[in-house]
Chain A
Amino acid sequence: GAVVSQHPSWVICKSGTSVKIECRSLDFQATTMFWYRQFPKQSLMLMATSNEGSKATYEQGVEKDKFLINHASLTLSTLTVTSAHPEDSSSYICSAGRDRGQTEAFFGQGTRLTVV
């Protein structure tokens, strides 16, 4: 199966700093990647769709200036949480599919962010 890897798996940062999370498709090219947020004991909520070579599409209520997404290549998308605050503490999970016609999404293991 296809492998999606996130780095780091967990991170602790100070309030006010920025954190970058990487999502890589290891054995396939992904023109589109998705970023989800999952609070403890809750479900995944789609934050944004990351498109290679173009601007990301954000879901309603997600601050694009706070959650910067860059999809610089067909195998890498990054999510930067800027000026992080304790309420941003959450798991951030990415997913990707092999091509536009592929209907199955492959998920990364998630990045647990704790802002102190």
Chain B
Amino acid sequence: AQSVTQPDIHITVSEGASLELRCNYSYGATPYLFWYVQSPGQGLQLLLKYFSGDTLVQGIKGFEAEFKRSQSSFNLRKPSVHWSDAAEYFCAVGPHSGSARQLTFGSGTQLTVLP
């Protein structure tokens, strides 16, 4: 069975600092990988996704993520964090075959941004 691990429950960074959110997955085949952001009272918004090809994926709001098959990781990064980035971030995995929209989510990482 697939699983997603986000080892950091809560991360605090200062505005303007760089950010890296960790995500490790366990999957029997090549997965689809996603990062979503959830702000209070808001729905999940897709930041970026990896299906195949270039392992460095660019997303919205200046985020990027790198797929490392050897490490089973898909870490999310941003070079300079903005106060508006404070939110909950979820990594998710979906199957390549069948319905890739049936996602397994990590436990989430809460990001706090200090002024």
Contacts and interface: CB of A to CB of B under 8 A. Distances in A.
A2 to B, nearest CB: 11
A107 B104 contact: no
B101 A103 contact: yes
Interface in A18-32: 32
B70 interface: no
A115 interface: no
Interface in B79-115: 90, 94, 99-108
Interface stretch (B13-21, B22-30, B40-48, B61-69): B40-48
Interface residues of A, number: 23
Contacts, number: 55
Contacts of A44: 44, 90, 103, 105
B99 to A, nearest CB: 6
A49 B106 CA distance: 19
A95 interface: yes
Interface string A90-116: 000101110010111101111000000
A102 B101 contact: yes
A102 B102 CA distance: 11
B49 A104 contact: yes
A46 interface: yes
A42 interface: yes
Interface of A: 4, 32, 34, 36, 42-46, 49, 93, 95-97, 100, 102-105, 107-110
Interface of B: 32, 36, 41-46, 49, 51, 90, 94, 99-108
